[in-house]
Amino acid sequence: MKVILLPVLLLLLLSCSLPRVYVIEDPLTAVQHNELGYIYESQGKLDLAEKEYTQAVGKEKGWAVPHFNLGNVRFKMGDLKRAEEHYREAVEKDETNPDFMNNLAFVLCEQSRYDEAEQWISRALSISPKEEYLDTQKKISAKKASSSLGR
């Protein structure tokens, strides 16, 4: 009986499949994650947008655009400190983009950090005198003036 039981037991042990772990590679590129984030952001799905932009950052660490987009999302969420961090990261990765500088200046202004905001908007305007940058500069000047009157 032992002779028959042993082969049956071996057959049962070998026929059972062990659980397998499958590693699925993310098929999307950094650009695709960024574009998907933009779509979510435009639909007001900020949590999903943030997730996609974060994926884009992870896929292409030297790319500034997803950091800029994360800054925009965090600003819309009311998290000015995190927005500032992402804008700074974007500027650090691309020191020639005036849009990054404009948004950094704007978020600094919203935090009543007018002197630094003025420096950033001046840099943006020295690269490109866009109307939206001039608007940011006017807002910084107006808020700084009203702040000093209130003292």
Domain ranges of the chain: 29-95, 96-145
How far apart (Å, rounded) are the C-alpha atoms in residues 6 and 103? 74
How far apart (Å, rounded) are the C-alpha atoms in residues 106 and 112? 10
29-95 under CATH 1.25.40.10, yes or no: yes
- Tokens 């009543």 sit at which residue? 112
pLDDT in 10s for each residue of the chain, 151 residues: 555 666 665 555 555 555 666 667 889 999 999 999 999 999 999 999 999 999 999 999 999 999 999 999 999 999 999 999 999 999 999 999 999 999 999 999 999 999 999 999 999 999 999 999 999 999 999 999 998 876 5
